[in-house]
Amino acid sequence: MAKPLILVSNDDGITAPGIRTLVKVMKKIGEVVVVAPNSPQSGMGHAITIGESLRLDKSMAFDKIEAWECSGTPADCVKLAKHHVLKDRKPDLVVSGINHGSNSSISVLYSGTMSAAIEAAIEGLPAIGFSLCEFGHDADFSHTEEFIEQIVREALKKGILPGVALNVNFPKKTKQALKGIKICRQARAKWQEEFDERIDPHNRKYYWMTGSFVNSDKGDDTDEWALANNYVSVVPCQFDMTASHAIALMNNEWDLEPEVKLNPKVKDN
């Protein structure tokens, strides 16, 4: 029986420790192809490169693994992987990460890691993004491996719904073992930004974004609750951002013309 074809990408760059751990686990499960950015792309969200050329070069970052490094964003990497690198071969799964830092709650919107997974979902491919709630470059990923393998094997066996990408986050490693996996919803939380005004050596103002994370969601079914209680959080995400519940409300309550004329003709006097 042929091994599943697994495409691996990330946003921290092809040399980041997190992607090495992810590739290590994926090699146990299937045939691995890596297409990842040639430099860090954190916080790029779902950006794509449209105003300049893209570079794609063979990489020797992994032993006995086909790997490519791309000058573009994580979403670019998935597009190039599907349409150029793999050509007529369809991946059985796309995985992204392991990210250095949490992508829970609202962070999913800014995440380059999840943009790779969501781009795969847009392309009709099952996908999972993995992140660790540890920002240090020397972060310990070892406690994530068994859970990643379990989640990936289940995804390959049972499938992921079309148009859905899984957002998986791991608590930082501590002396306490992880309690298990929770499938949950995205917490209603946000970053409360502040902008520190500073002066550069040329006496010009510049701003450095700071702030804190504010979680106003008290539910015990959220990703933030799971992570705070030492569980792995799994949130199914979709790229269709339609607020379906608002459609009927607006149709019933808003006083709008049934047909909007963008360029009505003006009658001559």
Distance (Å, rounded) from C-alpha 10 to C-alpha 95? 8
For the annotated binding site, the residues are: 11-12, 42, 99
Percent of the chain clearing pLDDT 70 (strictly above): 96
Strand ranges for 26-142 from DSSP E = 31-37, 56-58, 66-70, 93-100, 127-132
What per-residue confidence (pLDDT) applies to 67? 97
pTM exceeds 0.75: yes
269: pLDDT strictly greater than 70: no
Can you name the residues that pair with 185 across neighbouring β-strands? 222
What per-residue confidence (pLDDT) applies to 71? 94
For the annotated binding site for a divalent metal cation, the residues are: 11-12, 42, 99
139 close to 171: Cβ distance less than 8 angstroms = no
Taking alpha carbons only, the member of 7, 18, 9 closest to residue 170 is 18
Q: Give residue 259's pLDDT band: very low, low, confident or very high (50, 70, 90).
A: low
Would you list the domain boundaries of the chain? 5-188+219-253
What per-residue confidence (pLDDT) applies to 96? 98
What per-residue confidence (pLDDT) applies to 213? 80
What per-residue confidence (pLDDT) applies to 181? 98
Strand ranges for 133-222 from DSSP E = 164-170, 181-183, 189-199, 205-215
Tokens of 122: 């847009």
Strands ordered across the beta sheet of 5-9 = 56-58, 66-70, 31-37, 5-9, 93-100, 127-132, 164-170, 232-238, 181-183
What value, to the nearest 5°, has the Cα angle with vertex 201 and ends 200 and 202?
90
* 177 compared with 136, residue with greater pLDDT: 177
Tokens of 8: 């691996």
91: pLDDT strictly greater than 80: yes
258: pLDDT strictly greater than 70: no
What per-residue confidence (pLDDT) applies to 41? 82
Mean pLDDT of the chain: 91
Is the domain defined by 5-188+219-253 classed in CATH 3.30.413.10? no
263: pLDDT strictly greater than 60: no
Give the ranges where 15-104 is alpha helix by DSSP (H).
17-26, 74-80
Q: Give residue 191's pLDDT band: very low, low, confident or very high (50, 70, 90).
A: confident
What per-residue confidence (pLDDT) applies to 265? 57
Taking alpha carbons only, the member of 104, 119, 103 closest to residue 37 is 119
What per-residue confidence (pLDDT) applies to 260? 58
> What distance lies between CA 13 and its chain's CA centroid?
14
Please give the backbone phi and psi of residue 242, each rounded to the nearest 5 degrees, phi first: -60, 130
What value, to the nearest 5°, has the Cα angle with vertex 184 and ends 243 and 137?
105
What per-residue confidence (pLDDT) applies to 267? 53
What per-residue confidence (pLDDT) applies to 4? 97
* 263 compared with 129, residue with greater pLDDT: 129
Percent of the chain clearing pLDDT 90 (strictly above): 73
What value, to the nearest 5°, has the Cα angle with vertex 232 and ends 231 and 234?
130
